[in-house]
Amino acid sequence: MFEKLGHSIARRSKAIFLLAITAVLVFGTLGTQVFSRFDTGGYSDPNSDSAKVFEYLEDTFDVKDPAVVIALESSAGSVDAEATVAAATALENQLRAEPSAENVISYWSAGRNPAFKSTDGTAAYMFIYLKSEDFTEIDSLGGYYQDKYEGKYQDQVIRVSGGAVFANAINGRIQDDLKLSEAISIPITFILLVLVFGALVASAMPLIIGVTAILGTFFGLYLLTLITDVSIFALNLTTGLGLGLGIDYALLIVNRFREELRRGISREDAIVNTMRSAGKTVFYSGLTVVLTLISLTFFPMNFLKSMGYAGAIVVSLAVVGALIPLPALLMMLGEKVNKGVVRKSGLNPKEDGGWARLSRFVMRRPVPVVAFSLFFLALMIAPLTNVKFSQVDIRVLPASDPAYQAASFIQEKFPGEESNPIEIVFPAGGSNLEAVNSYAASLSQISEIVRVSSPEVKGAAVRLVAIHSMAPRTLEAETLIREIRDIDSTLEVLVGGVAADYTDTQEGIAETLPWVLIWVTIAVLILLFLFTGSVLLPIKAILLNYISLAATMGILTWVFIDGNLNFLTGDFINTGALDTSTVVLVAIVAFGLSMDYEVFLLSRIKEEHDAGRSNEDSVALGLQKSARIITAAAMILAVVFAAFIISGVTSIKSMGFGIAFAILLDATLIRAFLVPGLMRLFGDWNWWAPKSLQRFKINH
């Protein structure tokens, strides 16, 4: 198949390349529309009790959450002071006159409800309900209200918070951070490519494939936003994987093409040989990564689904770009691929050099090398004893952000989470109000509950509202929700609200994770067996990957919970926990990328073994011929993701750090020491498979 594809591309190279350029220009232009359509949410489980409560509130009780929450702090020291009342009334009238505002409720217009006043009486709430239900417009309005009203108003201090403001703050920071990270990573990436290839022309092509994969993915994500919500965080993953893997795959193709040209064969033969070897490796490597990333769509949360969609699209496009337009361009360039020589040694890498010597050193002492490597990994895994998991809340923003400062002020000054209540619905409670009141009495006895409302009856359904005293997306809030759900009742009870949504999301991830692990393990075992024809090598790869992931999670804990390496990560609000969704994302992406490099390495080792070399020589020469490219690819991918560490959004910062660390760990300790050491210990068993299965392997 790959030989035929190589011949077809070689004979139609100009037409294929022009078609590819046209497609990139069209899809890239259309794809820019996606930036205004992203969602900052997507952390909820739509099949949970909390989601059902949300539907009841919206459809039965006509409840709408305030999009913007304003805390007005009195300059006179009391929200009941004459000057403060006058200013608040004027402000509320101005807010009501806003074309986007559907309704405004405040402490003053709601009969001076004490629940809307701070504990010290110096501040009070205003809740703004918007007309629009369009996420993009709500996001924009959050920024509008913050910019217009944050600060001083008739000598009173105004702080603007709420879901719309939080969404706008997150979106703005991510888009700004993305521009900065690209401005840093792309030049560094090009410099690394020049050092690897030694020629400017060859160095530019992988970068082009990476950028085109990103542009194509933007168009794919735009189409997705027409039918479902897509998380804003998918932007960072798209950029990271598109640039990184697009470069990785192109790196492999360009390197092999130059290798074939050095043998003195024709351009077409060089393209065909490249497609037969490196092309096949890229295809199966990309397929492994895609199947791994697809597992993210198993989770009920749209945040992780978005990452699965974005990852699968961008990796697929990176593979297509490396296998079709890139060979067409190489066919057109021929020997000109080596134009612009910067480093002559990069044009003719050694067949038997430092990497081969390193692998032979390891294989002469496999037991101590493997033992020391595992001990070192165990040290990195050790901090996992301190790990705790949580979810994204306002603390994902830096302490200097006005949205965070407003939310912190509200949390400090007000007695309960008025804008984040626990919502309790009894679908058939109208026929037994005595049971509802009994439940409410038990609920009010819980120490963290500030107050419980009177029952609200609509048809057969009954609603209770409970105000609690803690941040809703925390481990403490999860404990509270479980305690509430343990209250006995003869009625069906649905517990919702932000804290319940958080609890249901954590449970949704925990319940889905085993199925994801089963899918990833089986898919990778099958693909690696087909690729290598070995039973042992796929099992070894899976086990090493899981150990490597545990080490990565340990280092994430050491950095983002224990508070180390602040000089590298910069300032962020340490919540004492890792975001669950980000941890899952890092684990799945890192697992896929590790398999990517595993396929790169095993492809060259198997090629040498199939040529009749011994197990030790196959490993040494395979590592020599692939390690330079694997290391370069890993460095480039690590740079791309490490650039996200500068982000002001903690979840993006931790994602960038975690994936960059996992990549570097895999390309150094795992590939350079553990893989050759274990392959030496296994000897010829590396290539064993039952005769009944041998017919399924792919011949290289």
pLDDT one-digit tens code per residue, 433-492: 999 999 999 999 998 888 898 899 998 999 999 988 887 777 788 899 999 999 998 899
- The first and second tokens of residue 348, run together, are 């003719």
Q: Is residue 220's pLDDT more than 80?
A: yes
14 within 8 A of 459, measured Cβ to Cβ: no
Q: What single string gives the DSSP state of each residue in 348-414?
A: S--SSSHHHHHHHHHHHSHHHHHHHHHHHHHHHHGGGGG--EE---GGGS-TT-HHHHHHHHHHHHS
Count of alpha carbons within 13 angstroms of residue 92, beta-carbon side: 20
- Can you tell me the distance from the alpha carbon of 233 to that of 250, in angstroms, rounded to the nearest whole number? 26
Query: 400-503 domain in CATH 3.30.70?
Result: yes
For residue 367, the model assigns a pLDDT of: 92
Residue with tokens 């300790």: 669
User: How many percent of the chain have pLDDT more than 70?
Assistant: 95
Q: Are 318 and 213 in contact (CB under 8 A)?
A: yes
- pLDDT interval class at 94 (50, 70, 90): very high
Range in 84-98, 142-156, 682-696 with the lowest mean pLDDT: 682-696
Q: Which of 120-129, 291-300, 548-557, 682-691 has the lowest mean pLDDT?
A: 682-691
Q: Which residues make beta-bridge pairs with 579? A: 390
Helices 280-294 and 302-323: crossing angle, nearest 10°? Answer: 170
Contact 126, 69 (CB under 8 A): yes
Q: What does the radius of gyration of the chain's CA atoms come to, in whole angstroms?
A: 29
Higher-confidence residue: 328 or 604?
328
Do residues 305 and 276 lie in contact, with contact meaning Cβ atoms separated by under 8 Å? no
φ, ψ for residue 494 (rounded to 5)? -115, 125
Fold observed for domain 2-40+168-392+504-694: Multidrug efflux transporter AcrB transmembrane fold (1.20.1640)
pLDDT grade, residue 290 (50/70/90)?
very high
Helix (H) or strand (E) holding 180: helix 163-197
At 347 the pLDDT is 45
pLDDT score at 122? 93
Taking 70 as the threshold, does the pLDDT of residue 613 lie above it? yes
The mean pLDDT value for 183-199 works out to: 79
**What residues pair up with 73 in beta bridges, in sequence order?**
123, 157
What does the domain layout of the chain look like in residue ranges? 2-40+168-392+504-694, 67-137+149-161, 400-503
Mean pLDDT computed over 626-644: 82
pLDDT band at 78 (very low <50, low <70, confident <90, very high): very high
Quick one: fold of 67-137+149-161?
Alpha-Beta Plaits (3.30.70)
| Of the candidates 673, 508, 525, the residue with the CA atom closest to the CA atom of residue 595 | 525
Residues 576/593, Cβ–Cβ less than 8 Å: no
What pLDDT does 698 receive? 60
Cβ–Cβ under 8 Å, residues 161 and 406: yes
Quote the pLDDT of residue 419.
Answer: 64
pLDDT band at 71 (very low <50, low <70, confident <90, very high): very high
| CA 464 to each of CA 359, 433, 483, 504: distance values in angstroms, whole numbers, following the listed order | 67, 11, 16, 19
The amino acid that residue 368 corresponds to is P
Per-residue pLDDT reduced to its tens digit, 124-139: 999 999 988 777 788 8
Residues 6 or more apart whose Cβ sits within 8 Å of residue 200:
194, 339, 340, 342
Which residue has tokens 């400017």?
200
Q: Do domains 67-137+149-161 and 400-503 have the same CATH topology?
A: yes
Q: What is the DSSP letter of 335?
A: G
- Cα distance between the two ends of the chain: 12
What CA–CA distance (Å, rounded) separates 505 from 44?
5
H-helix or E-strand containing 696?
A: none
Structure confidence at residue 604 as a pLDDT band (50, 70, 90): confident
CB of 448 within 8 A of CB of 438?
no
Distance CA 77, CA 635 (A): 57
DSSP-based three-state secondary structure for 152: strand
